[in-house]
Amino acid sequence: MNCRQFQNQLYEYVEGTLSTSIRAAAEQHLAQCNACRQTAHQEQQRAQFLSDHFLQKTESLVLRPEVRRRIIASLQCESAPGIVVTLWDCFRWPVGIAASVLLVASVLLVTHFSRVQTGALQAQSPVFVEVSYHLPTYTFRKEGNLILDTVSEETVVISETLLNTKPSQVKHEKKMPL
């Protein structure tokens, strides 16, 4: 230990709160350092002197009787709210902790489910739907005594991309008669 380190520990050395090893180091330093030994001695003297001064100046002071009476009288004002205060003091910590836990749990749940829902929506890929149907057309014509009919067929194709909202693409195609 050097002088600076000892000065940092001076008060603890004088009051006797240093650990055994640090105290031993301090004692070792004091054995070699006259200046620090003197500083420690001065602090002990100062403490004793100031302590004596305070005691001498204040030893005749006593609490006045009217002050004692007023303190006792203050009890009467305290009796009614005391029960409420007691109950609140008993339960304020559990209530506070429970409220905090509920708040945190609510926030976590809301966050979790909103993420799940968003994720589910994002996971849905668009669905391409295509529907086709044949639309026959009958045509009749008279050649002499004969009535001839022809059938033509029209293929209608409807294609649509489904995205959970409104259709993004609707396509109608018509194929020429066969």
Residues at the interface with another protein (CB under 8 A)? 8, 11-12, 15, 17, 38, 42, 45-59, 61-64, 67-68, 70-72, 74-75, 78-79, 82, 85-86, 89
Q: Using the minimum distance from each CB to another protein, give the nearer residue, 42 or 169.
A: 42
- DSSP per residue, 18-59: S-HHHHHHHHHHHHH-HHHHHHHHHHHHHHHHHHHHHHHHHT
Q: Using the minimum distance from each CB to another protein, give the nearer residue, 56 or 164.
A: 56
In the complex, minimum distance from the CB of residue 118 to another protein, in angstroms, rounded to a whole number: 47
In the complex, minimum distance from the CB of residue 105 to another protein, in angstroms, rounded to a whole number: 29
Q: What is the pairing mode between strands 169-174 and 146-162?
A: antiparallel
Cα–Cα distances in angstroms (integers) from residue 17 to residues 9, 25, 44, 101, 143, in the given order: 10, 14, 14, 42, 130
Q: Using the minimum distance from each CB to another protein, give the nearer residue, 85 or 105.
A: 85
